[in-house]
A = this chain, B = another copy of it.
């Protein structure tokens, strides 16, 4: 089976056919959410871990000052709340940006995976740590770049991430966000996002129309963004994984 889920996790560990069957077998209890519905609420204590099968969702925080901050985009193959099993309580909410199909994986299944399937355990760690690496890249992005550079960086990142799960081809991809979503993500106002989009379009770098991103000059966009995809840890990680598994076998 070629779900985005497997396509993604293969970057994190050298999964066997058995591993993949085990993973796919855990994807029951599929739920559908309409756009703009909360999938997980802030403060919630849940016994299931959720995974995006189709659609796009986001993590977000509502701050006391009324601002909404989008902390991550969750694409097909991304886990919503691997942490909730350990931390016990959500410190942010998750909302569907488009209609979503979400798999609910019981915590006990996750625990069985991590105890009895070392490559799956590794893939889950990898997914968690890549999420953290993306967070660091976003923090540097909003902390140290101008609005146009921030937007360019985000569009470069999403191109790669969507390509990884087979949802982008070449320099164009579907991105069902409003300018308000981009604003809440980049720490800008919606008006400024609109102006920056126009600036990038008129400079011939990228256009964003009716939910589709089309990059017309990837080199220049990458340069403007200062984008280096190393933090996504996509290439070479599987090789290292093999070495570590070898060592684990020696240990065990």
A76-100 residues at the B interface, CB under 8 angstroms: 83, 85-89, 91-92
This chain: copies in complex: 2
Chain B residue numbers with a CB within 8 Å of A61 are 136-137, 140
- One of B125, B139, B186 near A86 (C-beta < 8 A): B125
In the complex, whether A44 has a CB less than 8 A from a CB of chain B is no
| Interface hub of A86, A143, A145, A247 (most chain B Cβ within 10 A) | A143
Chain B residue numbers with a CB within 8 Å of A68 are 144
Stretch at the interface among A27-35, A169-177, A206-214, A236-244: A236-244
- One of B59, B67, B130, B145 near A65 (C-beta < 8 A): B145
Chain B residue numbers with a CB within 8 Å of A143 are 69, 142, 185-187
- One of B71, B83, B226, B241 near A140 (C-beta < 8 A): B71
Q: How far is the CA of A125 from the CA of B121 in the complex (A)?
A: 12
Residue of B nearest to A45 (CB): B240
Q: How far is the CA of A65 from the CA of B63 in the complex (A)?
A: 30
In the complex, whether A131 has a CB less than 8 A from a CB of chain B is yes
Chain B residue numbers with a CB within 8 Å of A64 are 226, 228
Q: Return the 7 tightest CB-CB contacts between A and B, nearest first.
A: A143-B187, A64-B226, A88-B240, A67-B144, A69-B140, A91-B231, A83-B129
In the complex, 11 of the A-B residue pairs with CB atoms within 8 angstroms, ordered by the A residue number, are A12-B86, A64-B226, A68-B144, A69-B143, A87-B233, A88-B233, A89-B233, A91-B137, A131-B132, A132-B135, A142-B142
A residues contacting B by CB (< 8 A) are: 12, 43, 59, 61, 63-65, 67-69, 71, 83, 85-89, 91-92, 107-108, 111-112, 115, 122, 125-126, 128-133, 135-140, 142-145, 149, 185-187, 226, 228, 230-231, 233, 236-237, 240-241, 244, 247-248, 251-252
